[in-house]
Amino acid sequence: MLPLGFSWGAFFVYVIALIFVVLGGFIGLVQSHHPAFLVPILIGLFYFYLCWEAVVEDEDAPPAPPPSKNHG
């Protein structure tokens, strides 16, 4: 399997798209006063949380345990 790398450009495009989804939901909610516009707001915030966890996950990981010495 090919190793996948991290791309800051793709990350920023994804975050900008999520901002548009959430802002569009807020604008629709304010203009129509219909609760159906809560769906894009909540979905956008949920995917932003997933995106955040994917990026920040490595910083909170505990350090690896020291290698054990097996003397046979």
Q: Are 23 and 40 in contact (CB under 8 A)?
A: no
Low-confidence winner among 12-16, 27-31, 54-58 (lowest mean pLDDT): 54-58
| Residue 25, domain member (yes or no) | yes
Domains of the chain: total: 1
In a domain, 9, yes or no: no
Q: Report yes or no on 45 lying in a domain.
A: yes
Residue owning tokens 């490595």: 58
Cβ pair 60, 41 in contact under 8 A = no
- Which residue type is seen at 16? I
Which of 10, 8, 13, 14 is CA-nearest to residue 47?
14
Q: Assign residue 2 a region: left if phi > 0, alpha if psi is -120 to 50, beta otherwise?
A: beta
Q: What is the pLDDT of residue 16?
A: 92
Listed range (24-28, 48-52, 59-63, 64-68) with the worst mean pLDDT: 59-63
Model confidence pTM above 0.95: no
pLDDT band at 65 (very low <50, low <70, confident <90, very high): confident
**Residue 6, in any domain of the structure:** no
Residue 37 sits in which domain range? 21-53
